Amino acid sequence: MIDIFKGLNPQQKKAIEAVDGPSIVLAGAGSGKTRVLVHKVLNLIENHNVDPKSIVMITFTNKAAREMKDRIAKIMGNEKTLGYIGTFHSFCAMILRRDGEYIGIPHAYTIYDDGDQQQLLKQVLKKKQSKYSPRFFSGRISGAKNQLVSPERFIEIFSFYKAAEVAQVYHQYQKELEKNNALDFDDLLMKVVELFRLHKPVLEKYQNRYQYILIDEFQDTNVAQYTLAKTLSNKHKNITVVGDFSQSIYSWRGADIRNLEKFSGDFEGAQIINLEQNYRSTQNILDFAYEIISENQTHPILHLHTDAAPGDDVETVEVDNEEEEATFIADRIQTISVDLDYTEISVLYRTNAQSRSIEEIFLHYGIPYTLIGGTRFYERKEIKDILCYLRLLLHPDDSVALERVIKLGKRRFQKYKELFLQIKDSVLEIPTAEILEMVFDQTEYLGLYDPDITEDYARLENIKELKSVAMTFPNLVDFLEQVALVESEYFEGEKTGKSKDGVRLMTLHQAKGLEFSYVFITGLEEGLLPHSRSVDDIHQLEEERRLFYVGVTRAKKNLVITHARRRFIFGRRILSMKSRFIRSREEEEVEWW
Catalytic residue positions? 33-34, 216-217, 247, 554
Q: 407 Cβ partners below 8 Å, 6+ apart?
A: none
Question: Is the distance from CB of 290 to CB of 178 less than 8 angstroms?
Answer: no
For residue 239, the cross-strand partners are 213
**Rounded Cα–Cα distance for residues 490 and 378 (Å):** 10
**Rounded Cα–Cα distance for residues 435 and 383 (Å):** 15
Which of 116-124's residues contact partners 24+ apart within 8 Å by CB, and which partners? 116/182, 116/184, 117/184, 120/173, 120/176, 120/177, 120/180, 120/182, 121/169, 121/173, 123/176, 124/169, 124/172, 124/173, 124/176
**Rounded Cα–Cα distance for residues 125 and 456 (Å):** 19
Q: Which helix (H) or strand (E) holds 213?
A: strand 212-215
Question: Is the distance from CB of 22 to CB of 272 less than 8 angstroms?
Answer: no
Within 10 A of 477 (CB to CB), how many other CB atoms are there? Answer: 12
Dihedral sign for Cα 408, 414, 418, 420, please. Answer: positive
Question: Is the distance from CB of 212 to CB of 238 less than 8 angstroms?
Answer: yes
Burial group, residue 332, by CB count within 10 angstroms (0-12, 13-18, 19+): middle
Secondary structure tally for the chain: helices H, strands E = 23, 16
Question: Is the distance from CB of 305 to CB of 31 less than 8 angstroms?
Answer: no
Pairing of strands 212-215, 239-243: parallel
Q: What is the DSSP string of 44-77?
A: HHHHH---GGGEEEEESSHHHHHHHHHHHHHHH-
Q: 414 Cβ partners below 8 Å, 6+ apart?
A: none
